[in-house]
Chains A and B, each alone.
Chain A
Amino acid sequence: MAGEVKMFFEHDLRTVNDPKEVAITDGSKFNELDVRFIDQVFRGVVPRLPFPLSYPYFVILVDEQGNEVVTIRDYRLLDEKSQKALERSLDRTYFMPRIIAIRNLETSGDEFIWDVDTDRGQRVFRTRGRRSISLVGNRVVIVDVEDNMYIIFDVYSLDKKSRGHLESIF
């Protein structure tokens, strides 16, 4: 894992320093995981993303009582099996469609009508006002009028036409 962070507070983050210390498997209950961390085993944990946009691979595993049992800085460094198990669970827990392309973007008054391709399929939705679209670094978070969230993970990974649409509203 990346260099250890020097801390000055007392805290209870059990941070993984070596990916080999961790193994994640499907738990006995649906959509729960079991995690082995060094010599401890925690059963029935769920993954939480404290920074879904800024550090999307930073995961905290939380047990049934809500205790944060293990903190993983970058789950991409885990072994493949663990990663797969974790991703399956994350995928179910976090429904945040990623926009891959913007087919069309119409403006009427302060309403935008988006026609997009996401990683979960094609979609048309409306947003109202400038505030429903926020830019965090290269990421864009869009909240539609029904409070659904859409994310553009990296503005620069969009094709030119999509970027053109997006640029017209920023």
Chain B
Amino acid sequence: MANLMQRARSNHVSQLEPEDVKKSLSIVKERLRGILSEDEHAPYFFMSDLNEEGRYDVRWLVVGDRRLFVFSGSGSLEKEIRIGDISSVWFRDYIGSAEIGVCVDDSFESLIRFRRNRAEDFRKAATLIEEIKNGLDLALNIRPDSEFIYAGVQNQFGRRETLSWLLSFLRPHWPHMLLGLLLSIGITGLSLVPPILMRSLIDNALGAEKDIQLLVTLAIYLITIYAFSTLLNIGQQYLLAHIGRQVIFSMRKSLYAHIQRLSLSFYDRMSSGRILSRILDDVGRVQWFLAWGIPSLVVNALLLVGVGIILFTINLRLAALALIPVTFTALGVPRFRRRARKAYHKSWRRWSDVSSLLVDTISGAITVKSFAREDSEIERLEEKLRRLIQSDKEITVLHLQFFPLLGFLASLGAVMVWWFGGLAVVGGELSLGTLVAFVNYMWMFYNPVNSITNLIQPLQQALTSGERVLEVMTVESDVKEDPNALELEIKGNIKFVDVTFGYEPYIPVVHKINLEIKAGEMVGIVGPSGSGKTTLVKLIMRHYDPIEGRIEIDGVDVKRLRLDALRRQIGVVQQEPILFDDSVLFNISYGKPEAQPEEIIAAAKAANAHQFIMNLPLAYDSPVGERGSRLSGGERQRVAIARAILTNPKILILDEATSSVDTITERQIQEAMDRLVKNRTTIVIAHRLSTLQNADRIVVMDKGKIVETGTHEELLKSGGLYAQLYQAQFAEEAGLKAVQEAR
């Protein structure tokens, strides 16, 4: 079952509970045991939640060394096919679903249908069947008792799992925690003493025979106890704050480190506002829980037990009466908890909608203003705030439905104790001092009950936050590094072999790309926007892995190379380069922090950036501002080029690096580029075709496919898409020139 759990960590969403899947799987296995012959194995289980008619229903495809089986969720055998009879396996992508089928005796037969979220697993199934058909011997490759379960059930993190993960952060601090616990026990113990002294005070010191000496002694005892209690409290508070800080430090650090290592697809799925809110807000709430919530839960539980024992020792009947309101609390709170969990999740989602909108529109202020959309943005925020207020209101109402009533019941209990206790005192069965002490203890008993119930709301919040953090922590990078990855000194040969890729699975952005680029070659890639040019670059950098096919560098599949080594040897300049809020020097040396000053200057000169940098007040030490805002677009671009080439990359990729600058700057960048392309593979993605006249070869892309390749002249001659694009641009530029000359 380890595999099921492992799969359960993946991102697929299913409405099936892991428990249901487990149950169904064990039924299928039971049935299978009756079907398989003694030396036959069927170790692969693939689950789908669609049946033959395309309705939601569990189906299992079981792949064995001789036969394929399809079972329903309840274990009835739907199909059985001998692998030896199969002539081919087919995999069909539809919209929203897909299916695998086989060809047996020239007739096509569908095996199993599944939704797109399961396609990745079933693609493996198809490949597996193909391999077995072609003679792969399972017995040789896997141990007889192994099982591979592909069920794709998303794990809803259980409270226990979240809690144990959160507590794992406390583990390194156990000596402090232990000390904290001892302090808590001390505080609890001390707080139990005063009512006993009170009884003595009423019955003996202030009773029938007044005893001033005893009064003085008792007063001294009380002062001593309160003084000690204060000291212990100070110690405990300090300790808790200390542990809280430490825990939060390591949690933010490990969360950030984890997010940093995730592939870009994670950032595609989750907006940066949401990621930020998890690092900042959610971790903060968890801090409260760990540093304050848990200890106060412990203290209150101790107090509850201590006071409970004392109550029952004093008077059994009164103690039983005092417990009545507690039962209401104990019954009401779990009910509340279920409803609260839902309500809080809703409120958080709405809060993160608000913060996403803020992040978007404030950083995109210029766009909002350019389209004069201020009013509608205000309305949009207002709507989201209204929804947030609504969900907060629901939380308030939920609280009011429970807690005031519970408080009232507690007061009723107290009145009953006074009533029956009072009768006992009048009847002479109980001393007044004992009753007063009892009532004191009783309130001490209600206090922790109330505190614990009051703690539930913030604990709820904290656990919800914890879940949200854990959710991010368990996302795995889509791009995984081979543990035996090679660190290769690359020469710069790039080869795409039948590469297909889509950001959405099975909606290819690039399709069956075959392209070979030799070391030292300069290749231009052109094509209409959305034709997949930038995607090719991201695939070379291995920000994503192709769905099909492979990319080789110097004949080695990029998947077999160490990621950091690969990326360090590729320099990329993007259309809108991102600079960090630090000095020019910091930004240029970002990929090579140990660079010598001469190297920095040389790189800047090569990028035609040196002159303008020297004119800044602090030259290379000048701050560039947030996201480079103190520099112009062309200046940012040239700093980015300097940054890309400082590492002396064997492969240099310029992704529309000149499209957002004026022609003079473009010429400067062009000059810089001409200097740089020597001895390195250069890929230039360009919108302006004039930038590509020096390219050794130009690749023309359209709709995710390569439609033409050749030199500038060849492509012009052949009169294809490139010639059309060129003529369109040429006409435009000629038109501009004519207009300028006319002026």
Give residues in A with beta carbon < 8 Å to B: 5, 7-13, 15, 48-55, 58, 71, 73, 134, 136, 141, 149
A50 touches B605 (CB 8 A): no
A-B contact pairs, 22 of them (CB 8 A): A9-B645, A9-B676, A10-B606, A10-B675, A11-B606, A13-B601, A48-B614, A50-B614, A50-B620, A53-B583, A53-B621, A54-B621, A55-B597, A58-B597, A71-B601, A73-B598, A136-B582, A136-B583, A141-B618, A141-B621, A141-B623, A149-B618
In the bound complex, do residue B601 and residue A50 qualify as a contact, i.e. CB atoms below 8 Å apart?
yes
Give complex CA distance A5, B596 in Å. 7
Could you say which of B583, B602, B618 contacts A7, with CB atoms under 8 Å apart?
B602
**B620 touching A51 by the CB < 8 A rule?**
yes
Distance (whole angstroms) from the CB of B683 to the closest CB of chain A: 19
Closest Cβ of chain B to A69, distance in Å, is 14
Which of these, B597, B602, B619, B648, contacts A73 with CB under 8 Å? B597
For residue B61, CB closer than 8 A to chain A, the reply is no
Cβ-defined partner of A12 (8 Å) among B583, B605, B620: B605
Q: Which of A12, A73, A134 gathers the greatest number of chain B CB atoms within 10 Å?
A: A134
Q: Which residue of B lies closest to A8 (CB)?
A: B648
Query: Whole-angstrom distance from the CB of B616 to the nearest CB of chain A?
Result: 10
Interface string of B617-639 (1 = CB under 8 A from A): 11111010000000000000000
Whether a CB of chain A sits under 8 angstroms from the CB of B281 is no
Known: A11-B606, A136-B583. Is A48-B619 also a contact (CB below 8 A)? yes
Q: Which 4 A-B pairs have the closest CB atoms?
A: A11-B602, A53-B621, A5-B596, A9-B606
A50 contacts B648, CB within 8 Å? no
Does any Cβ of A come within 8 Å of B585's Cβ?
yes
Instruction: Check A51 against B623 for contact (C-beta < 8 Å).
Output: no
Q: Is the interface of A mostly helix, strand, loop or mixed?
A: loop
List 12 additional A-B contacts (Cβ < 8 Å) besides A11-B601, A11-B602: A7-B602, A8-B648, A9-B605, A9-B676, A13-B605, A48-B619, A51-B621, A52-B619, A53-B583, A53-B621, A54-B583, A149-B618
Q: Is the CB–CB distance between B605 and A51 below 8 Å?
A: no
**A129 to B406 CA separation, bound complex (whole angstroms):** 51
Determine the chain B residues whose CB is within 8 A of the CB of A12 once the complex forms.
605
Q: Is B599 an interface residue (CB 8 A)?
A: yes
Docked Cα-Cα span, A55 to B596, in Å, equals: 10
What total count of A-B pairs have CB within 8 Å? 66
Give the CA-CA distance A52 to B583 in the complex, in Å.
12
The reply to whether the CB of B603 lies closer than 8 angstroms to some CB of chain A is: yes
CA–CA, A35 to B617, complex, Å? 25
Q: Are B599 and A5 in contact (CB under 8 A)?
A: yes
Q: Are A51 and B597 in contact (CB under 8 A)?
A: yes
List residues of B (647-697) whose CB comes within 8 Å of A's CBs: 648, 675-676
Using C-beta atoms within 8 Å of the partner chain, give the interface range for chain B: 20 to 34
Q: Which residues of B contact A (CB under 8 A)?
A: 582-583, 585, 596-599, 601-603, 605-606, 613-614, 617-621, 623, 645, 648, 675-676
Does A9 contact B597, Cβ atoms closer than 8 Å? Answer: no
Instruction: Give A7 to B595 CA distance when docked, in angstroms.
Output: 11
A88 to chain B, nearest CB (A): 20
- A13-B602 CB under 8 A given contacts A5-B596, A54-B621: yes
Cα A134 to Cα B586 with chains together (Å) = 13
Minimum CB–CB distance for B630 against chain A, Å: 10
Interface pair A13/B598, CB less than 8 Å apart: yes
B82 to chain A minimum Cβ distance, whole angstroms, is: 62
* Choice from A8, A11, A73, A149 contacting B605 with Cβ under 8 Å: A11
Give the residues in chain A near B614, CB-CB below 8 Å: 48, 50
A residues in contact with B619, CB < 8 Å: 48-52
CB nearest neighbor in B for A151: B618
Complex Cα distance, B597 from A71, in Å, reads: 11
Chain A residue at minimal CB-CB distance from B680? A8
Residues of A within 8 A of B645 (CB): 9
Task: Kindly list chain B residues whose C-beta atoms are within 8 Å of the C-beta of A51.
Answer: 585, 597, 619-621
Distance (whole angstroms) from the CB of B79 to the closest CB of chain A? 63
Residues of B within 8 A of A9 (CB): 602-603, 605-606, 645, 675-676
CB closest chain-A residue, reference B596: A5
Least distance between A60 CB and chain B CB atoms (Å) = 8
Q: Contacts of B598 on A, CB cut-off 8 Å? A: 5, 7, 13, 15, 71, 73
Q: Which of A12, A73, A136 has the most CB of B within 10 A?
A: A136
Contact B603 A50 (CB under 8 A): no
Which residues does chain B contribute within 8 Å of A71, judged by CB atoms?
A: 598, 601
A48 vs B610: C-alpha distance when bound (angstroms): 13
Q: Find the residue from B613, B614, B618, B623 having the highest chain A CB count within 10 A.
A: B618
Q: How far is the CB of B480 from chain A (nearest CB, A)?
A: 33
Least Cβ–Cβ distance between A134 and chain B, in angstroms: 5
Whether A7 contacts B623 in the complex (CB less than 8 A), given A12-B605, A141-B618, comes out as no
CB contacts (< 8 Å) of A136 on chain B: these are: 582-583, 621
- Alpha-carbon gap, A9 to B598, bound state (A): 11
Q: How far in angstroms is the closest Cβ of chain B from A3?
A: 9
Contacts of B605 in A (CB 8 A): 9, 11-13
Residues in chain B near residue A10, CB distance under 8 A: 606, 675
Chain B residue nearest in CB terms to A149? B617
Tell me if A50 and B623 are in contact (CB < 8 A).
Answer: no
Tell me the bound Cα distance from A94 to B602 in angstroms. 24
B606 to chain A, nearest CB (A): 5
Cβ-closest chain B residue relative to A49 = B619
| Minimum C-beta distance from B282 to chain A (A) | 26
Question: Measured between alpha carbons, how far is A162 from B66 in the docked complex, in Å?
Answer: 81
CB distance from B646 to the nearest CB of A (A): 9
Say how far B541's CB is from chain A's closest CB, in angstroms. 22
Complex Cα distance, B666 from A145, in Å, reads 36
Chain B residue contacts of A134, Cβ below 8 A? 623
Residues of B within 8 A of A58 (CB): 597
Chain B contacts for A149, CB-based, 8 A? 617-618
Shortest beta-carbon distance, A35 to chain B, in Å?
18
Residues of chain B within 8 A (CB-CB) of A11 are 601-602, 605-606
Contacts of A5 in B (CB 8 A): 596, 598-599
Question: Considering only CB atoms, which chain A residue lies closest to B589 in the complex?
Answer: A54
Docked Cα-Cα span, A73 to B601, in Å, equals 12
Q: Which has the most chain A C-beta neighbours within 10 Å: B582, B601, B613, B617?
A: B601
The smallest C-beta distance from B601 to any residue of chain A, in angstroms, reads: 6
Which residues of B lie under 8 Å from residue A50 when comparing CB positions? 597, 601, 613-614, 619-620
Please indicate the chain A residues that have their CB under 8 angstroms from the CB of B621 in the complex: 51-54, 136, 141
Residues of A within 8 A of B599 (CB): 5, 7
CB of B702, distance to nearest CB on chain A (Å)? 36
Q: Shortest Cβ distance from B163 into chain A, in angstroms?
A: 37
B669 to chain A, nearest CB (A): 16
Name which residue of chain B comes closest to A66, CB basis: B611
A7 proximity list for chain B (CB < 8 A): 598-599, 602
| In the bound complex, CA of A89 to CA of B579 (Å) | 34
| A50 vs B605: C-alpha distance when bound (angstroms) | 12
* Chain A residue contacts of B596, Cβ below 8 A: 5
**How many Å from the CB of A151 to the closest CB on chain B?**
9
Query: Residues of B contacting A13 with CB < 8 Å?
Result: 598, 601-602, 605
Task: Note all chain B residues with C-beta closer than 8 A to A141.
Answer: 618, 621, 623
Q: Which B residues are CB-close (under 8 A) to A55?
A: 597
Shortest beta-carbon distance from A9 to chain B in Å: 5
Question: Who on chain A is nearest to B607 by CB?
Answer: A9
- The complex places the Cα of A13 from the Cα of B598 at a distance, in Å, of 8
Chain A nearest CB, measured from B230 CB (Å)? 31
